[in-house]
Structure 1
Amino acid sequence: MTSTQTRPPAARSGPAGTTAGRLAALLGSFLGDPLPVRIRAWDGSESGPDDAPTVVLNSRRALRRLLWYPGELGLAEAYIAGELDIEGDLGEGLSRVWRSVRERGAAPAPTLGDRARAVGLAARLGAVGPRPAPPAGRADLSGALHSKARDRAAIHHHYDLSNDFYALLLDPSMAYSCAYWTSDRPGYTVADAQRDKLDLVCRKLGLAPGARLLDIGCGWGSLTLHAARHYGAHVTAITLSAQQHAFVTARAAELGLDDRVDVQLRDYRDVTEGGFDAVSTIEMGEHVGEAEYPAFARVLHDRLRPEGRLLVQQMSRRHRAPGGGAFIETYIAPDMHMRPVGETAALIEDAGLEVRQVEALREHYVRTCAAWRETLEQRWDEFAALVGAETARVWRLYLVGGALAFQERRMGVDQILAVRPTEDGVSGAPATPVDWYRAGEPGAR
């Protein structure tokens, strides 16, 4: 991403007395020297390493926002509002800053003296003023954490942005989860990788004509419709998103799958039917909550018949920032909670299920985020016209940051396959599941 701002015809050197030089000195006291970025201030002055990505402060308001919201959230909101840009590649800029912080260790919390110096500099630069209004897209939730009403509001915030927005961003199947990249050949696209992911899930679940699948958090129906259309499954699909419910219902009718697909606008806690041959939950478990996950795992167990299979595809994170950080929690997925994959597997087993296989897909999500971001950049004007420039910038930051988090192993994503054994310990799962990864078209197509 390249800044579109015109550089003012002012000094571009980095003496300590320039605006950029004074800002660089202040920033260096927190991040160390040399700075991982170059700074260009609103008056055109610059300071910092010549070969570093350039942070462009387009307005004094960016500095004011950082005074009110120091740290990740203030930086993100300054970027969303267009008060701050990265000249050059946004991902490289974020990576350089993150690497610098990691190499130097956690910075000590700012002291009162540090804050006083920052406020003093901002006052001298004319940046002190009222709290800036937040840019578009902040989540505004109320009520008890993970109550049914609040969960509906959280899902509405993210997934009901607009079906047209997601149709622009995603492949034709509308799969909004990590794809499974099986080829580097030219012409192999995210649509192919999503199809390969859907086939992998269906094979792991052992779906065959007539099998009953419960798809919890069905999204826009990519797995629901794929399982019904290509594997002959009868699918009960549930979602809390009204727009997703309408979309999947209409798509099932268009494909002539009304007799195999039942789409329900329901909370997973309200599903009482049992005896399913398979249950899937694709990147929905992150929205369940820390305290609520053991009960969620029991629901997964109870909906399956003995020898039935469960597939959970879920993001993981070490205990630091389990919600993904201030930006993610405020603008993308409020109330989200992630944990190490081993803890999720343990919770699933504690519910009476047997974990049969865990497959890490972390590198696959780097490529998936990159593919989505490429689409966003190529169709930027369409996205901005549809949802506004600030929301489009939210998504640019989200996709770039997400790809980096998976690339640098700050986040993971995994498929966890489990079964509900019989009382005698019969799993019904193949001891050597070579067919999961067989090449070619599935026989049920």
Structure 2
Amino acid sequence: MTTARTPRPDAPRGLRPGAAHRLATLARDALGGPLPVRLRAWDGSEAGPADGPVVVLRSRRALRRLLWEPGELGLAQAYVTGEIDVEGDLAEGLRTMWAAARERGLHAPAPSAARRARALGSAVRLGAVGPRPAPPASQARLRGGLHSRARDRAAISHHYDLSNDFYRLLLDESMAYSCGYWTSEDPGLAPAEAQRAKLELVCRKLGLEPGARLLDVGCGWGALTLHAAEHHKARVTAVTLAAEQAAYVRDQVRARGLEDRVEVLCQDYRDITGGGYDAVCTIEMGEHVGDAEYPAFAAALSRLVRPRGRVLVQQMSRGRTAPGGGAFIEAYIAPDMHMRPLGETVGLLEDAGLEVRSVESLREHYVRTVQAWHRTLEERWPEFVALVGEETARVWRLYLVGGALAFEERRMGVDQILAVRPTREGRGDLPAPPAGWYTGLEER
């Protein structure tokens, strides 16, 4: 005796289920639970909750990528090439997936032989079996030993040498590519104002006075260097490993007549010589140093500042589950990046002989900062596509949307850590954080 099968809710009566229904079954096996989003396949069929964000698979090639590269990296490859898209708000789609993983405990179960056989059979029926697709052109391809000088130079170049024109279009006039400091909840507060407030706060925490010697390690496009030289009359040595950044900062130094106060070096931080700086700052550069190399990096910060001098580290943090930021970040944005819990970074700085005196979380500030960059990307989308191509523009859309959510949901943090190098007698001469650090920041 045979039993008639109950048709799936989304399948037209009398017809075999479309590709979306087979894919929903595959996703249920992969996730260990029902699909939290609606799925639309290349044949027009749909499956999944009717009120969920709609994920569109435009071709079988997207499925082939996922067969060869299951998980985050395969999804990212398919997204940046346009083989997978999200209809409507990408942030809402990612938020729904993260919420389902948290609340419904979705996770990838250990693949059994039977599950693999079912997946392969479904892929054959869907016509998705074939050779491994080549990685997208925008994916990083690094060679050499981890955190060797040549590999570090290539990793930095992959991200920061995209082009000065790209970053000039994305960022505000300060060209500060780091978390801003938002002095009010006013939605009309401009990103440039938040960056100016951050730069001024850093200079105040470092206690910069006219003639003070500042070392800016990983200076980016020189936002802090130029602010410290112009507004605090500091003498600044700016160091970056990115050639495009060094050229931009040198141009700005000449244009502003700061040649007598600013020196720009395009070199590895491991090659910095001398010392005796009154202050040393590194803003969101420590993430690129590497886990095994961080103790030596912290020791260099301590060695380069004079006794009773101040060191400020602004750095992102993350739990131990994805210290590099995840497969997408590591492949497309910041290869070889490493983050750790805040407490571990504080411990490493103290092990290097620094006394940590102040720690300030800027996590919510980064949500607003990244959202501002994302708005600019969407508002000027045709210009970005014309400049770097649609694939790279889609990389940045995914990066910015995902980054804002990571800070919003506390999967990532960012902090300013202020330390002092004490004398042999233990003197640091750094008072408790004064209220004056924050007075009038919005007026700068």
Same fold (TM over 0.5): yes
Residues 176-228 of structure 1 deviation map (CA, whole Å, 9 limit, x = unaligned): 00111112235311111011100110100001111100000000000000110
Letter in structure 1 aligned against 2:30: F
Aligned AA for 1:39? Answer: L
- In the TM superposition, what whole-angstrom CA distance separates every residue of 1:328-357 from its partner, at most 9, and x where no partner exists? 111110011000010000000000000001
Deviations 1:379-423 (A, max 9, x none): 111111111100000000000111111111111111000000112
1:51 aligns with 2:51: yes
Q: Note if contact 1:40-1:57 (Cα within 8 Å) is conserved in structure 2.
A: yes
Whole-angstrom distance in 1 between the partners of 2:432 and 2:408:
32
Q: Displacement, 1:64?
A: 0.8
What is the distance in 2 between the residues matched to 1:381 and 1:267? 36
Question: Which residue of structure 2 lines up, in the alignment, with residue 99 of structure 1?
Answer: 99
- The equivalent of 1:199 in structure 2 is 200
User: What amino acid does structure 1 have at the position aligned with 2:396?
Assistant: W
Distance in 2, Cα, partners of 1:102 & 1:361: 24
2:226 counterpart SS class: helix
Distance in structure 2 (CA, Å) of the matches to 1:206 and 1:84:
50
Q: Distance in 1 between matches of 2:83 and 2:137?
A: 14
Over residues 343-384 of structure 1, what are the superposed CA-to-partner deviations in whole Å (9 max), with x where a residue is unaligned?
000000000000001111111111111000000000111111
Aligned position for 1:18: 18
Do structure 1's residue 38 and structure 2's residue 38 form an aligned pair? yes
Looking at structure 2, the residues matched to 338 and 185 of structure 1 have their Cα atoms a distance apart, in angstroms, of 31
The farther-off stretch of 29-38 and 65-74 is: 29-38
Distance 2:185 2:424 in 1: 45
Report the Cα distance in structure 1 between the residues aligned to 2:54 and 2:84, rounded to whole angstroms.
Answer: 10
User: Is the 8 Å Cα contact of residues 31 and 100 (structure 1) preserved in structure 2?
Assistant: no
Tell me the C-alpha RMSD between the 2 structures: 1.5
- Partner Cα distance (1:261, 1:121) in 2: 63
The alpha-carbon deviation at position 131 of structure 1 amounts to 1.2
- Larger deviation: 416-425 or 177-186? 177-186
Moved more, 432-441 or 86-95: 432-441
Q: Per-residue CA shift, 1:51-102, capped at 9, x if unaligned?
A: 1001100111111111111100000000001000011110110111111122
SS at match of 1:305: strand
Counterpart in 1 of 2:5?
A: none
Q: Which sections of structure 2, spanning at least 5 residues, go unmatched?
A: 1-8
For 2:67 and 2:108, the matched residues in 1 are separated by: 18
Name the SS of the counterpart of 1:155 in structure 2. helix
Name the aligned partner's letter for residue 190 of structure 2.
Answer: T
Aligned residue for 2:350, secondary structure, equals helix
Aligned partner of 1:8 in structure 2 is: none
**Maintained 8 Å contact 1:137/1:331:** yes
> Do the aligned residues in 2 keep the contact of 1:101 with 1:107 (CA within 8 Å)?
no
Counting matched residue pairs gives 432
Matched AA of 1:125: L
Q: Is the 2:201–2:441 Cα contact (8 Å) retained in structure 1?
A: no
Query: Could you list the runs of 5+ residues in structure 1 that have no partner in the other structure?
Result: 1-11
1:152 matches 2:136: no
What is residue 254 of structure 1 aligned with on the other side? Answer: 255
Q: Distance in 2 between matches of 1:59 and 1:203?
A: 54
The alpha-carbon distance between structure 1 residues 78 and 434, as it changes in their structure 2 partners (threshold 3 A), is: same
The 1:54/1:218 distance shift into structure 2, 3 A limit, reads same
Q: More displaced, 135-144 or 429-438?
A: 429-438
* Ranges of 4+ aligned residues in structure 1 off by more than 6 Å: none
1:298, 1:269 → 2: CA distance? 11
Match of 2:422 in 1: 421
Q: Which residue of 2 aligns with 1:85?
A: 85
Structure 1 counterpart of 2:3: none
One-letter amino acid of the structure 1 residue matched with residue 414 of structure 2? V
Higher alpha-carbon deviation: 349-358 or 429-438: 429-438
Paired amino acid for 1:72: E
Q: Aligned ranges for residues 383-394 of structure 1 at < 5 Å?
A: 383-394=384-395
Distance 1:251 1:277 in 2: 24
Q: Is the 1:366–1:404 contact (alpha carbons within 8 Å) kept by the matching residues of 2?
A: yes
Establish whether residue 67 from structure 1 lines up as the match of residue 29 from structure 2. no
Q: Which amino acid aligns with 1:208?
A: E
Q: CA deviation at 1:14?
A: 4.1
Kindly indicate whether the alpha-carbon contact (under 8 Å) linking 1:34 and 1:49 is maintained by their aligned counterparts in 2.
no
Aligned to 1:366: 367
**Retained in 1: the 8 A contact 2:183–2:441?**
no
Structure 1 position 30, deviation (Å) = 3.0
Aligned counterpart, 1:309: 310
Amino acid at match of 1:333: A
Letter in 1 for 2:319: R
Distance (whole Å) between structure 2 residues aligned to residue 406 and residue 191 of structure 1: 20
Query: What is the one-letter code of the residue matched to 2:46?
Result: E
Deviations 1:1-34 (A, max 9, x none): xxxxxxxxxxx94467221111112212333554
Distance 1:440 1:416 in 2: 19
Equivalences for 1:238-387 in 2 at 5 Å? 238-387=239-388
Structure-2 residue corresponding to 1:112: 113
Report 1:162-177 matches (<5 A).
162-177=163-178
Letter in 1 for 2:174: S
**1:440 Cα deviation from its structure 2 partner:** 5.0
2:279 partner amino acid: A
CA distance in 1, matches of 2:157, 2:46: 43
2-side partners of 1:31 and 1:54: how far apart?
A: 17
